[in-house]
Structures are given as structure tokens and as C-alpha cells.
Structure 1
Amino acid sequence: MDLNIRKAILHNITNNDQDQLEATIVDAIQAGEEKMLPGLGVLFELIWQQSSPEDKQEMIQALEQGVKQATD
């Protein structure tokens, strides 16, 4: 069986507008289910690919802060 999770996720969100994309992210985070992590990973990959170097640095700094807070 050839299961391409990335393609399936992209197919599911292809026609979503900004509000729907935000709802998808918020719902995935609030649900806290492990099965949602691959979808969030695909969405992050899209964000990363469309970001400027400055935006990437800002995301990395936010991630570093989040990791520190989560492990304190």
C-alpha cells in the first residue's frame, strides 16, 4: 500500500481559506492527539518553505522559547 500522508493532507486543505486553515491548526493543537502531529508537520513545512530568512529566525526563536517553557 502506497500511503503518502503529505499528499493526503495537502489534498484535504487545498481549497481552505485562512479561517479554515487557522481552525485546522487550532483544532489539531487543542485535541492534543498524536495522530494530528503529521498534519501539523506538513503545515509547518509549507509555512517554512514560504518564509523569509528573517521569519525563519523568528520562528526558531519562538520555538526555542517554547521548548524552554515546556521543559521547565
Structure 2
Amino acid sequence: MGVTLDLRQAIIQRVHDKENDELYDIIDGSVDGDEKALPGLGVLFEIIWKNTDAKEQNHMVETLKQHLH
């Protein structure tokens, strides 16, 4: 479990002081990219999820569901 926390912290540290446009570029460049980027996207999504209200979470789930079928 220590490795997971280290990975989270490394990803958070990498993006901590980035401007909005830099964060956008990091996310946009990782989507459909190398599978090595998936853990980073997961950490960023976790932060978004934890800081989003239930209505927005439900919207994200609905969007996901629509695109899985």
C-alpha cells in the first residue's frame, strides 16, 4: 500500500503548481495516450471526484454509462 501512496503523492507533486492551461494540456495529452498515463489520470480523477458534489458525480456517471454502451 505504501507504493500506491507514493505514486499518488508523486503525481500530485508533479501537477501541484501548474496553471489551468498546463493542467488541461497534461490531461488532454494523457487521454488516449500511453497506458503509463492511466494511473496519473486515475489520481487526478480521484481528486475531482472527492471535490465534486453528488449532482456533478451523477452527471459524470451518466456520461460514462452513455459512452460504455
User: Do these two structures clear the TM 0.5 threshold for a shared fold by scoring above it?
Assistant: yes
Q: Which whole-Å deviations, capped at 9, do the CAs of 1:34-69 have from their partners, x for residues lacking one?
A: 10000000000010011000000000001111211x
Structure 2 residue runs without a partner (length 5+):
none
Moved over 3 A (4+): none
Q: TM-score, normalised by structure 2?
A: 0.89
* Percent identical: 35
1:14 is matched by which residue type in structure 2? H
Q: TM-score, normalised by structure 1?
A: 0.85
Q: State the aligned residue count.
A: 66
Q: CA RMSD in A?
A: 1.1
